[in-house]
């Protein structure tokens, strides 16, 4: 059977911060790429070559001054754009190719080559604001991918699911007044970057199209599954997205050095399955995933593998896994979010 799942990989992504000791290291991609090269993964995926985003495309989300500032780091040994966010000589090139990698993935979804896919790129993107780099991010890959799908393929309704440990402040801000994009985020709170309170629901035309699920530490597979089932599923079903993006951060992994969550690979597989169910119902199966955080190398590799296997229809989930998830306790935050969101979504 020919694969319906694409992967975007490129060696240039590993050049960002290649010479710098940093938690967001090239090793993160190396372990994933090595996993994809293993015999048991051979032939499962369509390999997609990325192309760089142009300045005009980057300007759909970012100011010209910000693009110029990042471009100004090109070829320079080491620049610091904020206390967390560094560049090395090829970072700007890698960042353009990361955003463009998501464009290439969207192209292959819309030309029918694949149904879904995963852009395994660096640097990550969801903290990169219109006018500044932040939190390891230079350009906002997922926000740019959404704009690309709208501008190139006329997509009218996009769901962005962000399960990174950290709130995607910049993705939220990009679409805060936009009813065409439903932004859903689970995140540790209060924690970097400090945004994502449950009463942040959007403004103007976008009111009700931002859904934040702020969580204390210690939540695992069952809690995340219940949150997706009781909040994401009914809201997204009412919204009826034509395309779903996922900002997939794996820093909610149980042993991640930056996080306090307890998610394991089956938990990521279950979240992916629920998203794929939504895509099957409303979005012609179209799901485009992009890599955000995740800093425990073994956990990152195994969790990405679990998501990829789900995408390709070769799930790691067992009946026992699913039974445990279904029987899991519903976290108290679910009621809090429903109270806030119910005025906008009668499906809750």
Q: E strand or H helix at 11, and its extent? A: none
Whether residue 219 lies in the annotated active site: no
How is residue 52 annotated by DSSP?
A: P
95 and 128 Cβ atoms separated by less than 8 Å: no
101 and 87 Cβ atoms separated by less than 8 Å: no
Token pair in block for residue 223: 């809690």
239 and 159 Cβ atoms separated by less than 8 Å: yes
How is residue 288 annotated by DSSP?
A: E
116 and 105 Cβ atoms separated by less than 8 Å: no
Q: What DSSP string runs through 182-239?
A: EEEEEEESS-TT----TT----GGGTT-EEEEEE-S--BHHHHHHHIIIIIHHHHHHH
Catalytic residue among 10, 16, 66, 127: 127
* Residues written for the chain: 348
Cα 51–Cα 118–Cα 138 angle in degrees, nearest 5 = 55
Compute how many other C-beta atoms are within 10 angstroms of the C-beta atom of residue 244: 24
Q: E strand or H helix at 269, and its extent? A: helix 265-282
How far is it, in rounded angstroms, from Cα 106 to Cα 110? 6
Q: What does the buried/exposed string (b/e) look like for 88-119 if buried means 16 or more CB atoms within 10 Å of the residue's CB?
A: bbbbbbbbbbbbbbbbbbbbbbbeeebbbbbb
How far is it, in rounded angstroms, from Cα 263 to Cα 166? 14
Among all residues, which ones are annotated catalytic? Answer: 127
């Amino acid at each position: 059977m020919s694969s319906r799942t694409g992967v975007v990989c490129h060696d240039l992504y590993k050049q960002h911060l290649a010479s710098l000791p940093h938690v967001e290291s090239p090793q993160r991609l190396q372990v994933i790429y090595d996993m994809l090269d293993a015999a048991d993964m051979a032939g499962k995926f369509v390999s997609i070559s990325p192309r760089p985003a142009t300045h005009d495309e980057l300007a759909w989300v970012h100011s010209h001054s910000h693009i110029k500032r990042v471009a100004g780091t090109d070829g320079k040994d080491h620049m610091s754009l904020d206390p967390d966010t560094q560049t090395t000589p090829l970072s700007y090139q890698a960042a353009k190719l990361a955003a463009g990698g998501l464009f290439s993935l969207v192209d292959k979804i819309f030309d029918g080559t694949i149904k879904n896919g995963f852009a395994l790129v660096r640097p990550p993107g969801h903290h990169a604001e219109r006018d500044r780099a932040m939190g390891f991010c230079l350009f906002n890959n997922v926000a740019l991918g959404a704009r690309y799908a709208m501008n190139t393929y006329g997509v009218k309704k996009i769901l962005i699911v962000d399960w990174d440990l950290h709130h995607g402040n910049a993705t939220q801000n990009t679409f805060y007044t936009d009813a065409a994009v439903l932004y859903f985020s689970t995140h540790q709170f209060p924690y970097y970057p400090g945004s994502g309170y449950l009463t942040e629901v959007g403004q103007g035309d976008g009111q009700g199209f931002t859904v934040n699920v702020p969580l204390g530490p210690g939540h695992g597979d069952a809690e995340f599954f219940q949150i997706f089932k009781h909040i994401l599923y009914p809201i997204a079903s009412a919204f009826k997205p034509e395309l779903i993006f996922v900002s997939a951060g794996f820093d909610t992994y149980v042993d991640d050095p930056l996080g306090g969550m307890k998610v394991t690979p089956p938990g990521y597989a279950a979240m992916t399955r629920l998203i794929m169910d939504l895509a099957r119902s409303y979005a012609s199966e179209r799901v485009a995933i992009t890599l955000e955080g995740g800093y425990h190398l073994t956990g990152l590799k195994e969790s990405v593998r679990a998501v990829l296997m789900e995408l390709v229809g070769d799930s790691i989930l067992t009946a026992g896994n699913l039974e445990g998830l279904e029987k899991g306790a519903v976290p108290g935050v679910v009621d809090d979010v429903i109270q806030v969101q119910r005025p906008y979504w009668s499906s809750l």
